[in-house]
Amino acid sequence: MRYFSLALFVIALLALTTAVSANTAYDQASLARLLDQADRDAFHEDPQWLALVHYEKNRFSKGVFSPAITQSFFLAEHGDLDPRAELHATLKNIFAPAPVTEGEEHTQCAFIARRYWLEQKFGQLGSSFPQFTCPKYEQWRAELDAKGLTLIFPEGFISNPASIFGHTLLRVDASRKKGYNEILGYAIDFTANTGDDSGITYITKGATGSYPAFFNLRPYYQQLKHYADWENRDIWEYRLNVDQAQVDFLLMHLWELSDVEFPYYFFTKNCSYELLRLLEIGIADFEASTRFRGPVFPVDTVRVIADKPQFVTSTRYRASPETKLRAGLSKLPSEDLSRVQAIVEERLAPADQMLQKIQPSRRARILDLAYEQLRYDYLAGNISDLDSRGLSRRILIARSRISGLAPEANSPTIDYKIPSVRPEQGHDTSLVELSAGWRDNESFVDFRLRPAFHSLMDNSGGYPEFMEVRVLDTSLRIFPESGRVRLQELTFLEIDSLSPRSYAFKPWALSMGTGLRTRRVRDDGKLDDALVWGTHLGAGLAWDPHPAILLYGLANMRLDVGPDLENDFSFGPGARLGVFAGKHEARWKGHLFGEFTQFVLGDTTTSLRGGAELRLTTSRNTALTFEGSANQIHGENWFEGALRVSLYF
C-alpha cells in the first residue's frame, strides 16, 4: 500500500510538471507573438505609451528620455532612454512567474496602467495575458470610490516665491452619496521637497531642477486648511467632464507613480505642468502640454483646460477667511466696526449690557464678525491659540443667547461678492508692447517684451488685487533720428504688494526688484544714458479710502552698480508715493506717482521723478496707455512722454 501511494504521488508530480511545462511553453509562445505584434505596429512609438513612461523629446540629440529619477520605475536596463526596450521588458514582466511567497503580489501590480493599456492595445491577443490579483491596489481604489475629477486653483501667494503665480491640484471626487461633502475627498498634487532652503539657494536650485518632487494624494480638507486658512488664498474649483474609464485609467497611472521621484523646475516642469501631463494620460484625446515651450504658469494651464470645449462643467469659488472678513466688515457702520474691534481687543465683553440694547440681528452680526476677526488673527499668527480660545468661547456663548432672530440670521454666514472675472478669463500672462514717445525734443520708439506676469496698471480682472509681478521685462529703445538702438531695461524680477491697511488688517506694502535699467549720468558736463544694474527694496503702507482709490507710500533703499557711475556705484535712501484710481476690473485706470532718491554714497546726487499714467483696456488682451513724467538728476531737468499699445498673449 505504501508503494502504491508513492507511485500515485510520482505520477501526480510528473503530470503537474508536464502541465506547468506545457503552460510555460504556451506562455512563451504567446509572449513571442505579442512582442512580434508590438514591433510590427510600433507600439513603443504610440503617444500614450510615451506618456505612460513620461518620455520627452531630447533637445540636444535624437530620441527621447524620461526625467523620472527612481530606477524602479523602469523595467529595462536603459528604459529611461529606450521606449521599445521598456515595452518589451513590461511584456516579459507580465508573463513572469507568479510569486510563491504567501501575500506577495506580482511585480506587475506596480504597473497597473501599463498592463491595462497593453491589453486594450492588443485587442483579442490581450486575452492571453496571465491573470493575477493586486489586493493593495484594489483596496486603495475602493477607498477612493472615485467617480470624477475637479481642477483646483489656489490664487497666487505673495509671501512665498514658489507660490507667487498660484498653484494647481486635482481633486478626486467620490460618488455623490447622501451626506457626501467634497472637502472629504482627496487631492492630487505635485510638490518639491525644498527642505529649509531659502534665498539665493532656494531660487537657484528651484530654477535648475535640483529639488526632488513627487506626486502626492492628500485629504482635500488638509489642502483647504493650508491654502485657504493659513495662506489666505482664494480658491477656484473647475469640475471636469470625464467618464469613469478616464478616471480609472488616470488613477491606475497615479498608483504607478507612488514614490517615483522627478526633478522640479519652478518655471517649467512644475506642479501645473505635471498635473497637465497626468490629465493627458487619463484622457487620451487631451493634448495640452505641447502648447508650452517655455515657462508654465498655473493660470495658463487653467486656461488650456477651460479652452477645451465642454470640458469644464461647472465652477465654484471658495473665498479665503480674509476675503470673507473684508466683505463683512465693509458693510458695517463705523460704530459697529469700533465695537467689533473693542471685543477682539477685550475692551468690550461679548455679553456687555451696552450690546444688549442693540437690535438682535445687528448684535448677532457684530458678534459673528468679532469671532471671524479673532479666528483670522489666530490663523495669521497674530494671537496664540491659548489667548484666543477663551474669548472665542465667550463670543459664541453670547451669540447663542440672542433670541428673536429670523431663521436665516441663526446661520452665521458672511455674504461676499464672487469675482465677475475668473482667473482664466483675465489677460494672458505674456505681454508685447510698442511705444512712441519723446524726450528732450527727441522722439523714440520702444519695443517691450514681458514674459510674465502682471503689473498694477494692467486690468486686474482674474488676478489678485494690489499685486505686481514682472519677470524678465525687457525693453529696447530706438531713436529714429540718430539711428541709435539701446537696451532700455531688463528687469529680472519686480514684485510689488500694496495690500491696503484697515483697523482689522495691517499688512506692510512691499516693493523689491533687480535688473538692468537705464540711468542718466553726467559725462563731460552733460547728461548721457548709461546702463546700470539696479536693486531696490522698500516697505511702507497702503490705504483704500474708497473702492476706486488706493493710496500708498514706501521708504526705499536703492543700489546702482555700473562702470559709468562715479566710483562704479551709487547708493542711497528714498521714498515713493502715489495714488491709483479705478475700481477693480475697471476699463479705465489712472496712476499719479512721485519718487525721490538721495544717493549718498558713490555717485552722489538727488534723483526726482513725478508723473501720471492713464490706461484704457480696450479688450481682454489689448490696452492703450499714456504716460508722462518730469525728471531731475544731477540738477538737470527733462520731460518724457509716450503712448503705448499693449498686446497680451
Express each pLDDT in 63-77 by its tens digit.
Answer: 999 999 999 999 999
pLDDT at 3 over 60: no
Kindly indicate the confidence band of residue 5, based on its pLDDT and cuts at 50, 70 and 90.
low
| Mean pLDDT along residues 113-117 | 97
444-480 confidence digits (pLDDT tens): 999 999 999 999 999 999 998 899 999 999 999 999 9
565-591 confidence digits (pLDDT tens): 999 999 999 999 999 999 888 999 999
Contact 150, 239 (CB under 8 A): yes
Cis before 569 (ω within 30): no
Which is it for the CA torsion 474, 480, 481, 483, positive or negative? Answer: positive
pLDDT at 12 over 60: no
Kindly indicate the confidence band of residue 299, based on its pLDDT and cuts at 50, 70 and 90.
very high
450 burial class (0-12, 13-18, 19+ CB within 10 angstroms)?
buried
pLDDT at 1 over 60: no
483-512 confidence digits (pLDDT tens): 999 999 999 999 999 999 988 888 999 999
Distance (Å, rounded) from C-alpha 260 to C-alpha 53? 11
Question: What local confidence, expressed as pLDDT, does residue 163 receive?
Answer: 77
Question: What local confidence, expressed as pLDDT, does residue 196 receive?
Answer: 84
Nearest to 68 by CA among 205, 203, 241, 262: 262
Contact 596, 555 (CB under 8 A): no
pLDDT at 617 over 70: yes
pTM comes to 0.89
Question: Quick one: cell of 551?
Answer: 493710496
293-307, 393-407, 538-552: which has the minimum mean pLDDT? 393-407
Kindly indicate the confidence band of residue 23, based on its pLDDT and cuts at 50, 70 and 90.
very low
Question: What local confidence, expressed as pLDDT, does residue 103 receive?
Answer: 66
Nearest to 550 by CA among 502, 516, 488, 511: 502
- Burial letters 104-120, b for 16+ CB under 10 A, else e: ebbebbbbbbbbbbbee
- Rg of the chain taking only CA atoms, in angstroms: 32
Determine phi and psi for 207, rounding to 5 degrees.
-75, -25
| Mean pLDDT along residues 286-306 | 90
User: Longest C-alpha distance within the chain, in Å?
Assistant: 123
| Mean pLDDT along residues 150-170 | 87
Q: Which H helix or E strand runs over 120?
A: helix 112-122
240 - beta bridge partners? 312
Question: What local confidence, expressed as pLDDT, does residue 162 receive?
Answer: 63
Question: What local confidence, expressed as pLDDT, does residue 110 receive?
Answer: 93
pLDDT at 321 over 80: yes
Distance (Å, rounded) from C-alpha 232 to C-alpha 589? 27
3-state class of 111 per DSSP? coil
The pLDDT mean for the chain works out to 91
Kindly indicate the confidence band of residue 292, based on its pLDDT and cuts at 50, 70 and 90.
confident
162-204 confidence digits (pLDDT tens): 678 999 999 999 987 766 788 989 999 999 999 888 777 888 8
Distance (Å, rounded) from C-alpha 387 to C-alpha 493? 40
Question: Quick one: cell of 642?
Answer: 509716450
203-243 confidence digits (pLDDT tens): 889 889 999 999 999 999 999 999 998 889 999 999 999 99
pLDDT at 597 over 80: yes
270-290 confidence digits (pLDDT tens): 999 999 999 999 998 888 887
Residue 501 is classified by DSSP as: B
First and final CA of the chain: distance in angstroms?
Answer: 90
Question: What local confidence, expressed as pLDDT, does residue 379 receive?
Answer: 87
Length of the chain: 649
Distance (Å, rounded) from C-alpha 205 to C-alpha 33? 47
pLDDT at 301 over 60: yes
What are the CB-based long-range contacts (under 8 Å, 24+) for 282-287? 282/149, 282/242, 282/246, 282/247, 282/249, 282/250, 282/251, 282/253, 283/242, 283/246, 283/250, 284/48, 286/311, 287/47
Distance (Å, rounded) from C-alpha 388 to C-alpha 422? 35
Residue 407 is classified by DSSP as: G
| Mean pLDDT along residues 395-401 | 93
